[in-house]
Structure formats: C-alpha cells, structure tokens
Amino acid sequence: MGFHTMAIEQRASEVWNVLAAVKTEFVAFGRVLDTLHKQLGTAQKTIAAVSTRKRAMDGKLRSVQSLTTVEANKVLELSPDGEFEEVDDTSASDSPDP
C-alpha cells in the first residue's frame, strides 16, 4: 500500500508542475491576446478612416463620367485582371510634349 501511495504522490506532483507551467503560459497568452486586441482596434480605426476618405472622393466624383473597364485598364496601364503591366520606358522621349 505504501508503494501505491508514493506513486500517487509522485504523479500528483507531476500534475501540479504541469498545471503551474500552463498557468505561466496562460499569463503570456493573455498578454499576446491583449496586444492583438489593440492591433485589431487600430486596424478598424484605419479602415474607418479610409472609408470616410473614399466616401468623400465618391461624392466629388459623382459628376465625372465613367469609362468602361477595358478603357480604364488601358488608361491606367492595367492588365485585364487588374494587375499593373510593365511599361517599357526606353522608347519614351525625355522631352516634354508641346
């Protein structure tokens, strides 16, 4: 019976050590979670600011005529999928247009 009691006490000690390590890690986890919460708050404020600026630009651009997507892509030098195309600047002259 004494051997079983000693084995149980040893396992209980191991369990307490694991719990203590988890408690320590849980505190660190809480700090990281707080940091993430602050960062997400900052990101939300930034998105709100961008949305406000977009609405302001939309309001001013309402009276401007729109181009088709194909025409807009050509003017903005975008590929059909919306990605920028590489432009060959070697053929362009350095003199300003008259």
Tens digits of per-residue pLDDT, 41-60? 999 999 999 999 999 999 99
> CA quadruple 81, 82, 87, 93: dihedral positive or negative?
positive
Is 45 exposed, middle or buried, given 0-12, 13-18 or 19+ CB atoms closer than 10 A? exposed
Rounded distance between C-alpha atoms, residue 34 and residue 28, angstroms? 10
pLDDT at 97 over 70: no
pTM strictly above 0.75: no
Tell me which of 23 and 80 has the higher pLDDT. Answer: 23
Tens digits of per-residue pLDDT, 2-52? 777 878 888 899 999 999 999 999 999 999 999 999 999 999 999 999 999
